[in-house]
């Protein structure tokens, strides 16, 4: 690990101002990805800005707005807090299901929602949830719909110095997350979240490609007929999909269809 300076600001404004004055800083929240990367010398920031004490970025609240009940989850809210939240269980239990499926208990005790989506690992669970549940990512000065947030491998719409302050979710009528789990890391080889809204079905996919995406062809088929067999005729091209020792691109494409059918069957039952 290379040498670095450590900072612990006490407010969001202080963190943002500090970032602008440093040579090559990085924010850290739970550190579940950044710290291992620094140990392996894959990342060498000049300064670490620890956000973990910023209470304004923590917690879960229900907002009543023009679109109905929205759940806002602070960017520094830890995965176990999401999984155990009474508000989440009452209004959007699928998000608790997703959070409970992340890594192991040590990761869930330290990792944060904002850190996970800012890192945008191609096999992370939460990006599929954001895409399927009409999420909006809030930074200090702008809002970005999840559909526009995940751009490519470890690449998001965040600008340098941006902090994920919170994420707003629109609770679906029904939703379930199905995941083909890597046995060692707990990452999703492929994960699929199917959510039903009054205006249609949304399907978020993670693990298959360079970043999470919506399976629009699946959505169209399920909007016509919400049955597992409705996706049988859907073609899922595997060009550009991840391919490694754990699963080929072709197998990942196959898993998308299998997991979608399982999710639909679960919702129907």
Transcribe 153-208 into DSSP letters.
TTEESPPTT----EEEE---SEEEEEEEE-TTT--EEEEEEEEEETTEEEEEEESS
Quick one: pLDDT at residue 222? 98
Per-residue pLDDT at 186 exceeds 90: no
Closest by Cα among 202, 239, 184 to 192: 202
Q: Classify domain 58-268 at the CATH class level.
A: alpha beta
Quick one: pLDDT at residue 76? 97
Mean pLDDT, residues 227-232: 96
Q: What does the domain layout of the chain look like in residue ranges? A: 5-51, 58-268
Quick one: pLDDT at residue 57? 96
Domain 5-51, what architecture?
Answer: 2-Layer Sandwich (3.30)
Q: What is the largest CA-CA distance in the chain?
A: 57
Mean pLDDT, residues 146-170: 97
Q: Do 58-268 and 5-51 have the same topology in CATH?
A: no
Quick one: pLDDT at residue 184? 87
Per-residue pLDDT at 255 exceeds 80: yes
pLDDT in tens, 60-102: 999 876 555 899 999 999 999 999 999 999 999 999 999 999 9
């Amino acid at each position: 690990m290379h040498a670095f300076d450590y900072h612990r600001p006490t407010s969001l404004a202080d963190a943002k101002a500090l970032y602008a004055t440093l040579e090559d800083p990085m924010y850290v929240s739970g550190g579940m990805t950044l710290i291992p990367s620094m140990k392996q010398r894959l990342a060498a920031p000049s300064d670490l800005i620890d956000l973990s004490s910023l209470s304004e970025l923590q917690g879960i609240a229900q907002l009543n707005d023009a679109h109905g009940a929205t759940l806002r989850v602070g960017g520094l809210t830890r995965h176990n807090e999401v999984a155990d939240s009474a508000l989440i269980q009452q209004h959007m239990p699928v998000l608790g299901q997703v959070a409970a499926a992340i890594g192991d208990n040590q990761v869930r005790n330290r990792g944060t929602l904002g850190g996970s989506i800012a890192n945008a690992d191609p096999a992370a669970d939460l990006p599929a949830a954001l895409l399927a549940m009409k999420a909006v990512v809030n930074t200090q000065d702008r809002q970005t719909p999840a559909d526009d947030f995940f751009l490519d491998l470890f690449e998001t719409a965040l600008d340098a110095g941006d902090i994920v302050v919170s994420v707003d979710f629109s609770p679906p009528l029904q939703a379930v997350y199905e995941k083909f789990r890597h046995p060692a890391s707990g990452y999703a080889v492929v994960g699929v979240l199917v959510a039903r809204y009054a205006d249609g079905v949304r399907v978020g996919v993670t693990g298959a490609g360079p970043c999470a995406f919506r399976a629009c062809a699946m959505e169209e088929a399920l909007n016509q007929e919400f049955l597992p067999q409705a996706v049988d005729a859907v073609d899922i091209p595997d060009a550009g999909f991840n391919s490694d020792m754990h699963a080929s691109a072709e197998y990942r494409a196959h898993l998308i269809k299998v997991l979608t059918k399982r999710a639909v069957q679960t919702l129907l039952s």
